[in-house]
Structure 1
Amino acid sequence: MACNETLYAIREVADLTGVKPVTLRAWQRRYNLIQPQRTDKGHRLYTPEDVERINTIQGWLSKGVSIGKVKSLLDSDTIFQANIETEQLEEVSEMLDALSHLNGSKVDKILTVVLKEYPLEIVESKFVVPVLNAAEFLKVGPKAIQLSLFRTSLVQKLAVMSALDSTRKKAESVLFVSMDVAGNPFAWLNYAKLAEQGVSVTFLDGVEDLSVLQTEPSSFVSVQLFAEKSLSEKQLESIRIQRERGEVLWKLSPVIEHLLEDKESIET
């Protein structure tokens, strides 16, 4: 190793790649995907080549490749494998089976593994979305029960994850407000992503009346609003007025932005 070689601590690698430390450790211990150097005190140190490899791993995961199959792909010279792409992780089938039997302990175990071994972006697009889409094809009764089990278990896991992330030193403070029905898994995923990035997040779930925010929340760097459902004219007008007040930055989810744009186009 060259004396002047750049080395990164695990938290620096997490910031560079977006892969949380617990996931980096899992990739090393369970799958031998990456082997960082160690300091005399046992702290992990990663080279630029390690960072590049982590980014490559994420590329495979974004294609829906299960983490257990990534090492063979990384070690293979076969070109055709670059065309591999699936819509979901293998764990989706395992989860659907667990939900069909209302096996809460298995649901919990699968979520623990998925949330530890995959970045949240992959969890959302290749796991949560396919599970929810598949559940829509069930009969009404079973669907309601299975969706409730999945959503409740997922929210509980994300709450614990975010609470652990909150112990880190924070660079900024954000008020995150979900205007959907309480327990929307995508609202919680967005909240968890913020917490994982080192942001101090105050999360208000299931808020319908924004009058609670009439007093300028000056203790926050920004207010982030989330919704996937249609909002009332009164709610949209309240958002517009408060965003224009100015002192705090307001960030809106794509659905809210679209609803506001439609409202403004109609008015003009």
Structure 2
Amino acid sequence: MAFYSIGDVAERCGINPVTLRAWQRRYGLLKPQRSEGGHRQFDDDDLLRIAEIQRWIERGVPVGKVKALLDQGKAPEPGDWSALQEEMIGTLRQVSPAKLRAKIAAFCALHPVDILIDNVFEPLRNTLSLDRDTARAMRSLLDGILIEQAVSSLMEARIKAGRDALLIGWGIDDRTGLWLEAWRLSQRGWRIDVFAEPLELPHPEFFPGQQMLVWAGPAISPEQLQQLEHWQKQGYAIRAYGAANAA
């Protein structure tokens, strides 16, 4: 039987080791074995259970309620993340960066970053962008803390073994979205350097021998795909990156 370290599991499942430890210690969701040296060892059954936990969380079930559902053998149903979004809005209304920072850190300790980005952070940012004045100010505060969290994650990932890449926004306006994708990648074993300003046209010839990931938002255009294929035929290590094709 194959065994995996907590680092291996974190990379395979896209989950921060801190979250895995919380699932084990605080909620009893996982029971990894221990090596002779006392290190956690996960097997294939543990990986399947983690995938099931993720499916429940993706449907908006609070972590504290997942164990009972797993024990009952129930199948996940479509969920609702509005409760966490409302909790974030309540914190934003207090206009306290420290409290918002603590709330986001608490969420990240319980939920994979992937899931939070897709189901809490991005939907909340979209909602706040629909209004003016106060809501826009709240979104600006939120974006600042999210970028801060992303940078912290990138710095942590940089001191670990991983794959190196440049992340470049291509023809986009959402700079915070770019940093969120960098955060997502840092949780998946990538050591990312981010171009803070999106470019109208990436120039892979400027970065010979380096892996480049370009993010064009939720969907890349046919023209951009054609350009990518041209660069790839020229031998450049460049490819599209996005939530739908994150590796």
**TM-score higher than 0.5 here?**
yes
Q: Distance in 1 between matches of 2:51 and 2:204?
A: 43
| Post-superposition offset of 1:230 | 11
**Structure with max Cα Rg:** 1
TM-score calculated relative to the size of structure 2: 0.83
Structure 1 segments (4+ residues) deviating >4 Å: 239-242
Equivalent in 210, 213, 224 of residue 213 of structure 2: 224
Number of the residue aligned with 1:176: 167
Number of the residue aligned with 2:140: 148
Number of the residue aligned with 2:71: 75
Are residues 89 and 45 of structure 1, via their aligned partners in 2, closer, same or farther at CA, if it must alter by over 3 Å? farther
Number of the residue aligned with 2:155: 163
CA RMSD of aligned residues (A): 3.0
Number of the residue aligned with 1:98: 91
The equivalences for 1:246-265 within 5 A come to: 246-253=234-241
Q: Distance in 1 between matches of 2:139 and 2:87?
A: 15
| Post-superposition offset of 1:89 | 5.8
| Post-superposition offset of 1:58 | 0.7
Are residues 240 and 52 of structure 1, via their aligned partners in 2, closer, same or farther at CA, if it must alter by over 3 Å? closer
Q: Distance in 2 between matches of 1:8 and 1:208?
A: 40
- Percent identity, aligned pairs only, is 24
User: Does the CA contact (< 8 Å) of 1:65 and 1:85 recur in 2?
Assistant: no
Q: Distance in 1 between matches of 2:59 and 2:218?
A: 28
Number of the residue aligned with 1:36: 32
- List alignment gaps of at least 5 residues for structure 1: 255-268
Q: Distance in 2 between matches of 1:208 and 1:224?
A: 13
The equivalences for 1:125-140 within 5 A come to: 125-138=118-131, 140=132
Q: Distance in 2 between matches of 1:34 and 1:219?
A: 41
Q: Distance in 2 between matches of 1:248 and 1:89?
A: 43
User: Does the CA contact (< 8 Å) of 1:175 and 1:202 recur in 2?
Assistant: yes
- List alignment gaps of at least 5 residues for structure 2: 243-247
| Post-superposition offset of 1:141 | 0.6
The equivalences for 1:165-244 within 5 A come to: 165-170=157-162, 172-179=163-170, 180-181=172-173, 183-184=175-176, 186-208=177-199, 210=201, 213=203, 215-220=205-210, 222-228=211-217, 243=231
TM-score calculated relative to the size of structure 1: 0.77
Number of the residue aligned with 1:86: 79
Q: 3-state DSSP class of the match of 2:152? A: helix
| Post-superposition offset of 1:156 | 0.2
Q: Distance in 1 between matches of 2:92 and 2:236?
A: 43
Are residues 105 and 37 of structure 1, via their aligned partners in 2, closer, same or farther at CA, if it must alter by over 3 Å? same
Are residues 27 and 246 of structure 1, via their aligned partners in 2, closer, same or farther at CA, if it must alter by over 3 Å? same
Is 1:47 matched up with 2:21?
no
Q: What letter corresponds to residue 150 of structure 1 in structure 2? A: L
